[in-house]
Amino acid sequence: MTNNSEWNQRGNRVLMNTYGRLPVTMVRGSGCVLHDAGGREYLDFVAGIAVCNLGHCHPAVSAAIQAQAEKLVHVSNLYHTTPQIELAEQLCANSFADRVFFCNSGAEANEAAIKLARKAGGEDKYEIISLAGSFHGRTLATVAATGQSKFHEGFEPMPAGFVHAPFGDLEGLERLVGPHTCAVLCEPLQGEGGVRPLAPEYLRGIRELCHRHGLLLIFDEVQVGMGRTGSLLAYEQLGVTPDIITLAKGLANGLPMGAMLAGEEVAAAFTPGSHASTFGGNPVAAAAALAVLDTLLAPDFLAEVRDKGAYLVAGLNELVQRYPDRLQEVRGMGLIQGLVLREEFRDQGPAVVQNLFERGLLLNFAGHTALRFIPPLVVSKTEIDRALEMVEEALLR
Ligand SMILES: *Cc1c(COP(=O)(O)O)cnc(C)c1O
């Protein structure tokens, strides 16, 4: 058997150098635990970046994948398939939406939302306002929508029709509304941008502004949807309903799947030929997502997510109290929490992540601001305790 470092070397030789990978090759996972090729164990508080919300190889999801793989793996969207229909029904029954378009990633879901907003807006309505600090994906249009210039650099010219409003500034946003504006796109909580929630009154202000100017409101819930915040979708807790919502990451617990949801009236702008995806709504991915929804919506599951989220927050707040010289605050919703480092300590963020990796805890550093805690939603309080201990040790080092 080849060991960890041999695999790392082989990977580094043939893969495009697009990721700052830690020196590890993962081979197996179960629940919140990952195993590398050298037999080492890690407590996983990254969960594929909020993807494996039910943990690695959740039995219900693996069984659904296996069963569907023996029935039908793919047909064109020229035909219906049963898992895709059932999944769309479930997503609509559990949200404001009436119709769903399926694709394969978060960026694709946002591309679909951008196209729908432009089509629904009508002639000359193409401009989308997004927020500073946002992250919407890596395709050219979603990079253009992303409000962080580091993602634009080297790829200019950016596709036209995207402007960025200053974060938290409703008047600044309103000043950007012009004759070509068709929508406002935002994450209810910025994940990549450093685990930064948008205040409910700010979101309500954005909603009201959209109504007033006839703009569509698009929520990018690619990271915070699918139970992460303690409700199936984050908007449910915020008293604000968008017109379009995008999902991906946790949707199929690790199989590539994205979705764009909208109400009947907005969705009507798409007609046959408007948009398409070869793999979108693939039966195996859809079967996995159905098992995910079934598990998330079982009685008490989401209440437990909220309970464990509160438990994690309490533990993190104790750390902030003990190390006020290094830690600034805790922010997030449910089981997406950021431990914000003090400005003068932020350069240490990557070293803390590296140190935690050596101790056997996987965490990442979001937006050069916050250690991001996004464990599988099935995490236990004992696992949360262990993670908090390791974080404290890494901070003390
Ligand atoms: C991860 C992410 C995306 C992009 O998703 P991909 O599947 O990587 O294309 C878009 N929006 C948000 C909020 C994300 O967190």
Residue ranges for the chain with pLDDT beneath 70: 1-2
**What pLDDT sits at residue 397?**
78
Q: Is 115 a catalytic residue?
A: no
Question: Rounded CA gap, 370 and 256, in Å?
Answer: 27
Q: Is 301 a catalytic residue?
A: no
Question: Rounded CA gap, 146 and 368, in Å?
Answer: 16
Beta bridge partners of 331: 338
* Alpha helix segments (H runs only) across 99-220: 106-121, 140-145, 170-176, 200-213
**What pLDDT sits at residue 301?**
98
Q: Whose CA is nearest to atom 11 of ligand 1?
A: 136
Asked if residues 367 and 340 have their Cβ atoms less than 8 Å apart, the reply is no
Q: Which residue has the tokens 């309505």?
A: 125
**Ligand 1 atom, smallest distance to 191 CA:** 15
Q: Which residue has the tokens 């020229």?
A: 78
- The finding on whether 135 has its CB within 6 A of some atom of ligand 1 is yes
The letter for the amino acid at 237 is Q
Measured between its terminal Cα atoms, the distance across the chain in Å is 35
Question: 51, 104, 187, 192: which to mutate for ligand 1, most atoms within 8 A of CB?
Answer: 192
- The finding on whether 151 has its CB within 6 A of some atom of ligand 1 is no
Question: Rounded CA gap, 191 and 220, in Å?
Answer: 10
**SS3 at position 33:** strand
Question: 108, 114, 223: which to mutate for ligand 1, most atoms within 8 A of CB?
Answer: 223
**Ligand 1 atom, smallest distance to 106 CA:** 5
* Alpha helix segments (H runs only) across the chain: 4-14, 47-50, 59-69, 82-93, 106-121, 140-145, 170-176, 200-213, 264-267, 283-296, 301-322, 349-359, 381-396
**What pLDDT sits at residue 2?**
59
Going from the C-alpha of 180 to that of each of 17, 59, 92, 207, the distances in angstroms are 39, 49, 30, 18
Closest CA to 253 of 304, 287, 299, 303: 287
The pTM of the full predicted model, rounded to 2 decimals, is: 0.98
**SS3 at position 174:** helix
Q: What is the DSSP string of 321-355?
A: HH-TTTEEEEEEETTEEEEEEPGGGGGGHHHHHHH
**Which domains, and CATH codes, for the chain?**
4-57+299-395 (3.90.1150.10), 72-296 (3.40.640.10)
**Structure token digits, residue 313:** 């927050």
**What pLDDT sits at residue 69?**
98
Q: Which of the residues 243, 249, 270, 373 is marked catalytic?
A: 249
- The finding on whether 190 has its CB within 6 A of some atom of ligand 1 is no
Question: Rounded CA gap, 192 and 133, in Å?
Answer: 8
Question: Rounded CA gap, 317 and 337, in Å?
Answer: 11
